[in-house]
């Protein structure tokens, strides 16, 4: 209880600092801060079976409000969502994390960033995004996809629209994973060969809710059709039918890269093979398809490489066989419970699951603070204009 109060108080402090104070005590910032404090406190005190509900709410809000703010910004600056020649010529396109795997190899070879984005001094600049990515990777690994990705919320939301799963992709997990890595390799190599961010140019479905190249030429039109089809196919329809994050687990090159670099992060998910009874509840609930029938049968002890640490398997396991663990805990023997009263009070504070949630939520809070407030203002202004 004490540790939960400490965690909630600390988070309240972070929220007040980054959301309220940094936004000069604006009305919108107070509303958003109240929402965040409520969400985190509920998540912290909630029954372990219900915790991920709050993560989903947070990520969906983050994704939708991010897009509202982003599109609002674009209309303010350019009058449309289409990329203009002056934005290109001035290198002012916002840089997002999905471009990182595409620009890395060309940067190593040519020392140039093959994306016309601002280099530094802006929230969506190359340096700031790389900086955030490095910090996140070191601490939370692929947890980015389930906590801080400002696109992931779309799929997260749509995957919870339907009550019943219409398509079960469990048996295709491995193939989907293989396809993602093959596609990642293809994107990285073609980006290097072409010296252009190929995924951003042709495949990214989120152009529909952010910005896109003007469709005034045949290639522009083809790219336009592709991102519309991919958005409705992989971000809307497939998640509704399969209750999975299909774009994230099938196409996203950043997701594939984050899976490869996840090993260096502080946290991992552990499956206790002794407790596991093979009910496959975890595999059925995993939105990233990271637990296969084989994973459980062969008692691998952890999910597959694409695990995004969303925690759904942890809460769905009836045997409580799945838990968050420190990556460096291997070989340290079984964890002993605190012996003293003082230790018992503070023990939950250093539990990997609590620390992971706290860190991931902090990232989300800071990253979402300016976007969400801007969106709230846009919505308020629209309502005021309407009436």
Partner 1 sequence: MRSQLIKKSFYVIGVISATFTCLFGILIFFIFSSNISEFLKEALNLHVTSSFVGGNVVKTFYDAEGDDKGNGILVYPTNKNFENGALDLLSYTIHEPVYDAKWQKHSEYWQLDLKFKSSGEKTRNIMIYIGANNFDGKNTETLFDAAENISFNSEYPWTYALWIRDSKGTLYTKENEICDVQLEFLNEGKNVNVRIPIEKEELLKFYSSEVTWHYVICGAYSPWDKGGFSTIEKRKNISRGSVNSSSEHNQFIPKIFDILDDSMFIEKNQYEQLNSFDLKNYTKAIVQPHIVNMKEKENIINEYDELLEKVENLMKSENEENVISDNSKRSKALKLFKEGKSEEAKKIFKEIIIENPNDEVVLAYYGSCIAIEAGHSNVMDAVRLVNESYTYLDKAVELAEGKESEVDALMNRASVSESVPDGVFHKMEVAAKDYYKCAELSSENEVLQMYLLLKSAKAYESCGQKDNYEIIIRKVKSLIN
**Which residues are near partner 1 by CB under 8 A?**
10, 14, 16-18, 21-22, 24, 83, 85-86, 88-91, 107, 110-121, 125-128, 130-132, 135, 139, 194-196, 201, 213, 266, 326, 328-329, 331-333, 349-350, 352, 355-356, 358-359, 362-363, 366
Task: Report the DSSP beta bridge partners of residue 326.
Answer: 267
- What's the closest the beta carbon of residue 118 comes to partner 1, in angstroms? 8
Task: State the number of CA atoms in the 13 A half-sphere of 332 facing the CB.
Answer: 8
Minimum separation from the CB atom of position 348 to partner 1 (A): 12
Whichever of 74 and 114 has its CB closer to partner 1, that residue is 114
Short-list 145, 188, 153, CA closest to 59: 153
Query: Alpha-carbon distance 107 to 6, whole Å?
Result: 43
Is residue 277 helix, strand or coil?
coil
**Cα 244 to Cα 145: distance, rounded to the nearest angstrom:** 13
Q: Which is nearer to partner 1, 71 or 127 (CB)?
A: 127
Minimal distance, residue 30 CB to partner 1, in Å: 14
The nearer residue to partner 1, 118 or 245, going by C-beta atoms, is 118
Between 117 and 314, CB nearer to partner 1: 117
Q: How far is the CB of 295 from partner 1 (least distance, A)?
A: 26
Q: Are 142 and 307 in contact (CB under 8 A)?
A: yes
Give CA 353 to chain center in angstroms: 17
Closer to partner 1 by CB, 213 or 323: give it. Answer: 213
CB nearer to partner 1: pick between 15 and 250: 15
Residue 149 or 291: the one with the smaller Cβ distance to partner 1 is 149
Q: Let me know how long the chain is.
A: 387
Nearer to partner 1, 86 or 185 (CB): 86
- Identity of the residue, 139 or 188, whose beta carbon is nearer to partner 1 in the bound complex: 139
Using an 8 Å Cβ cutoff, are 360 and 386 in contact?
no
The distance of closest approach from Cβ of residue 86 to partner 1 in the complex, given in angstroms and rounded to an integer, is 5
Which residues on neighbouring strands pair with residue 93, listed in sequence order?
117
Collapsing DSSP states into helix, strand and coil, what is residue 269?
strand
Compute CA distances 73 → 76, 296, 371, whole Å. 5, 47, 10
Full DSSP string of 134-147: HHHHHHHTTHHHHH
**170, 295 in Cβ contact below 8 A?**
no
Distance of alpha carbon 242 from alpha carbon 296, whole angstroms: 21
Q: Least distance in Å: CB of 366 to partner 1?
A: 5
* Burial tier of 149 (Cβ tally within 10 Å: 0-12, 13-18, 19+): buried
Rounded Cα distance between 130 and 116, Å, is 15
């Amino acid at each position: 209880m004490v540790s939960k109060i400490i965690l909630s108080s600390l988070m309240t402090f972070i929220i007040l600092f980054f959301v309220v104070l940094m936004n000069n005590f604006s009305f919108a910032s107070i509303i958003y801060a109240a929402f965040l404090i409520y969400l985190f406190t509920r998540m912290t005190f909630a029954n372990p079976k219900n915790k991920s509900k709050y993560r989903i709410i947070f990520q969906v809000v983050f994704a939708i409000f991010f897009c509202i703010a982003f599109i609002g910004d674009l209309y303010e600056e350019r009058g449309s969502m289409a990329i203009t020649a002056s934005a290109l010529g001035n290198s002012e396109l916002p840089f997002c994390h999905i471009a990182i795997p595409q620009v890395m190899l060309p940067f190593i070879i040519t020392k140039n960033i093959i994306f016309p984005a601002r280099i530094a001094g802006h929230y969506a600049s190359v340096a700031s995004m790389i900086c955030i990515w490095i910090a996140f990777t070191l601490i939370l690994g692929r947890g980015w996809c389930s906590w801080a990705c400002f696109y992931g919320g779309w799929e997260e939301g749509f995957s919870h629209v339907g009550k019943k799963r219409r398509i079960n992709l469990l048996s295709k997990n491995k193939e989907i994973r293989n396809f993602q890595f093959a596609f990642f390799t293809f994107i990285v190599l073609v980006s290097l060969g072409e010296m252009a961010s190929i995924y951003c140019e042709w495949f990214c479905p989120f152009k529909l809710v952010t910005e896109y190249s003007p469709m005034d030429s045949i290639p522009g039109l083809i790219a336009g059709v592709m991102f519309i089809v991919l958005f409705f196919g992989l971000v809307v329809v497939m998640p509704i039918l399969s209750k999975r994050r299909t774009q994230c687990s099938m196409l996203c090159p950043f997701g594939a890269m984050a899976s490869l670099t996840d090993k260096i992060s502080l946290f991992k998910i552990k499956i206790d093979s002794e407790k596991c009874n093979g009910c496959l509840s975890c595999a059925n609930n995993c939105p990233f398809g990271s637990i296969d029938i084989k994973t459980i049968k062969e008692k691998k002890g952890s999910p597959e490489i694409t695990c995004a640490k969303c925690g759904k398997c942890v809460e769905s396991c009836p045997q409580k066989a799945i838990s968050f663990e420190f990556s460096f805990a291997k070989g340290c023997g079984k964890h002993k419970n605190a012996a003293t009263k003082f230790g018992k009070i503070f023990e939950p504070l250093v539990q990997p699951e609590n620390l992971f949630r706290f860190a991931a939520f902090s990232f989300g809070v800071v990253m979402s603070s300016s976007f969400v407030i801007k969106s709230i203002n846009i919505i308020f202004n629209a309502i005021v204009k309407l009436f």
